[in-house]
Structure 1
Amino acid sequence: MIRFHDLRHSHASILLSGGVDLVKVAARMGHTSPKTTLEIYAHLVPNNDYDVADVFEMALKNSVTDL
């Protein structure tokens, strides 16, 4: 039996494996932070740079407050 969660996970996995930008996948999945997506799908993202995700997350937070 295929669960909805399995389809969701497959969708994100296919996108990341295909080179779709982590931020775009995070938004599509409804994650509030790309770091969340990276933690779940790190094995699919080249150069599992958690520190890079942290820097990017801070930049996103700052840009949202500047709007």
Structure 2
Amino acid sequence: MTICLAPISSDRSINSDLKNMPIPYQVAVQVKYLHLEAEIESLLYQLQSLNKQRLATTSTENKN
């Protein structure tokens, strides 16, 4: 994941260059992206847990 935020500088030439640079994503979009990414990670973790439970249950049933 890459988040592009421009550094703050007191040098006027650098600041004027930064003003002319296109910003790939607005901060609000970056925040939404990070929230979605966290939700995806959480859902993936839940899926993995459920899969482990299912495998454990199937394994136990096969032993009986």
Q: TM-score, structure 1 length as denominator? A: 0.32
Higher-Rg structure is 2
| TM-score (normalizing by structure 2) | 0.34
